[in-house]
Amino acid sequence: MKRTLAGMAASLLLAGMLAVTGCGGGTTEKKAEEKPASNLTVYTSVYNGMVKEMAKPVVEQQLKGITVDWQTTGSETVKKKILGEMKQGKTDADVVMISDPSFYLQLKKDGKLLNYKSPQAAELAVLVDADGAFTPIRVSAVVIAVNRDKIEDVPRSWEDLLDPQYKGKIAMPDPKVAATALATVSTLADKYGWEYWRQLRENDVVVCPTTEMRDKFSRGEYPITITMEEDVLKQKMALNVNAEIVYPEEGSVLVPGYIGILKDAKNPESAKKLVDWWLSEEGQSAMSLAFMHPVKFGVKEPAGARTLFEQQVHALPVNWNRLMVEEDLVKDRFAEIMK
């Protein structure tokens, strides 16, 4: 299995988050005596290329009799879709996999999640919900990326981004679209006050779609970005961008990605098997090969990344419980500052 996952890594680097679509695994003709497939629908923000190149074929191979419809998009889009469907009475999703702990806290509070404590969830590097309503499967780190072809004097902290020498050279995703950006906006506002974002606005920070930010970073048009560590690693590996990851002196912003089973899932037992798979060595190795941090001890960390433990020691704290309540306020306040 390790050989299979490693062989898929090259495809991932070219697909991953750098492409809109990836190639799915092939299907084989079913024999007449086989039992009908147990279908699952997963709403996820995990990169489309990673899902289709790495997870999909292995899940099809290992979880016999279970077919998964992977619906991949950004975390904020997933949230809006689920909440919209719930208002209509029922969501099509059985499983949700996104990087927004506050959303899982809200779903749990509303009684929308099925409690499941996976036997694979022992000895994880990230806290597990006490009731098993949601389980960590990955961690992303928000850092500063620098295109060294364009920037010689590299910023070393979040505060350094306010330096006038970087005016008009910084870009970041929109927190109304990207959950990791939302966590970063909230966390830095907690640390420095909203004045931090007003000063960054005065330094002409550009708020733009993530794909545009990646492309222009590669070309040097936005030579400094507030982005995810995995983005930079993929660009270095796949596009040979002369990029440097800056782990800010104050600490990175760590955003755990969770998996949760919705209470009215059509096939809860199959959903539990999928949770188990993501926490298995194969599932966690897939996360690492996609440059995200696995949460299971003993699984190799992403190549080129600072270890999760090192980052946890210095990470800026994110108040997920307050963000659950104040999400719209944070988005609106940021938008007002940036307009």
What is the per-residue DSSP string for 143-167? EEEEETTT-SS---STGGGGSGGGT
pLDDT of residue 229: 97
Q: What is the pLDDT of residues 48-62, one digit of tens each?
A: 888 888 889 999 899
Q: Where are the beta strands (DSSP E) in the chain?
A: 38-44, 66-72, 95-98, 113-114, 135-147, 170-173, 206-208, 224-228, 243-246, 253-262
> pLDDT per position in the chain (339 positions), as tens?
443 444 444 333 333 333 333 333 333 333 444 444 579 999 999 988 888 888 899 998 999 889 999 999 989 999 999 999 999 998 999 999 999 999 999 999 999 999 999 999 988 999 899 999 999 999 999 999 999 999 999 999 999 999 999 999 999 999 999 999 999 999 999 999 999 999 999 999 999 999 999 999 999 999 999 999 999 999 998 889 999 999 999 999 999 999 999 999 999 999 999 999 999 999 999 999 999 999 999 999 999 999 999 999 999 999 999 999 999 999 999 999 999
CATH fold for the domain made of 2-139+254-309: D-Maltodextrin-Binding Protein; domain 2 (3.40.190)
pLDDT of residue 37: 58
pLDDT of residue 7: 41
Q: How far apart are CA 35 and CA 302, in angstroms?
A: 38
Residues of CATH 3.40.190.10 domain(s) within the chain? 2-139+254-309, 140-252+314-338
How is residue 191 written in tokens? 């640390």
Q: Which superfamily, per CATH, for 140-252+314-338?
A: Periplasmic binding protein-like II (3.40.190.10)
